[in-house]
Amino acid sequence: ALLLPDITNPFFPSLVKGVQLLANERGYLVLLCSTLGDEKSEEEYLKLLRTKQVDGIVAVGLVLHRRQIERLAAGGIPFVSLDRNIDLPGAPLVQVNHRQSAMLATQHLLALGHRSIVHITGPLGLRVSRERLAGYLAALARAHVKPDRRLRIAGDFTEDSGYADIERLLAESVSFTAVFAANDLSAIGVMAALKRHGRRVPEDVSVVGFDDIHLAAYTSPPLTTIQQPTFEMGRSATQILIDAIEHSPRRSRATKTVFDGKLIVRGSTQPLRSG
């Protein structure tokens, strides 16, 4: 079974494809469950999957709690968490290096001469958001740039959040020349707000996203972003799960697999204009 929060989110299709193709190659069918980001629905799906005796579960972008994991283990159902840390040390996890990838995004803007760089985070209750924030701050520190608290904004990974956050900064006359958004959807909202207020991307403000969803290459201008290898991550999680199903969790691969993000430079960033 593949359990994820929102099938409509453009981050997931490539990841789902990676899971499904390898599962099918190995003779497994994939049952897709979308929780719509609701913890109660997540709990109900997990209960249903335990009673239906599925072979194993890949949980994508969900925060599994210790009690949920223990119930799965008691039922003999292997699982792998993909792109979210889980509440049990040593539990199987596949993810990108969020901190290092966020450093890479911020360092790209710093190398272009930008110093007033906005960071719009994801929900700070999520470890991935906190790790991306830590990467942003680490890059500033390495460049000896003092962080401006006004430029650090808590978002929620949506276009609406990116749009509203930039509108608020502009209304408050906060000066900035670049934005690093914690995901591509937020970055798309950022660019829409800048355009509405007559700020050109990248001539006036450079913008970097995170994820490299399919749409990122087709925004105007095309979005510079951090590419997560979602297809490969999906295959990796599936291979770990199948190893656990066909052998045993003890003989499966290492519990934590970390991929590197890759900077994809497109048209939304350019060197800071002098004067």
* Domains of the chain and CATH, by start: 2-96+229-259 (3.40.50.2300), 98-227 (3.40.50.2300)
Residue 227 is predicted with a pLDDT of: 98
**pLDDT confidence of 9, banded at 50, 70, 90?**
confident
Q: What is the DSSP string of 3-29?
A: EES-TTSTTSHHHHHHHHHHHHHTT--
Nearest to 5 by CA among 49, 57, 63: 63
- At 107 the pLDDT is 99
Residue 64 is predicted with a pLDDT of 62
Q: Answer whether 139's CB lies under 8 Å from 112's CB.
A: no
CA-CA-CA-CA torsion for 169, 170, 174, 179, nearest 10 degrees? 70
Residue 132 banded pLDDT, cuts 50, 70, 90: very high
DSSP category for residue 95: E
3-state class (DSSP) for residue 152: strand
Q: What is the DSSP letter of 151?
A: G
pLDDT at 61: 77
Query: Helices 184-196 and 159-171: crossing angle, nearest 10°?
Result: 40
Angle formed by the axes of helices 98-111 and 127-142, to 10°? 40
- CA 52 – CA 34 distance, rounded (Å): 17
For residue 86, the model assigns a pLDDT of 65
- pLDDT at position 128, please? 92
Tens-digit pLDDT profile for residues 84-119? 766 555 678 899 999 999 999 999 999 999 999 999
| DSSP 8-state class, residue 149 | G
Residues 219, 196: Cα–Cα separation, whole Å: 15
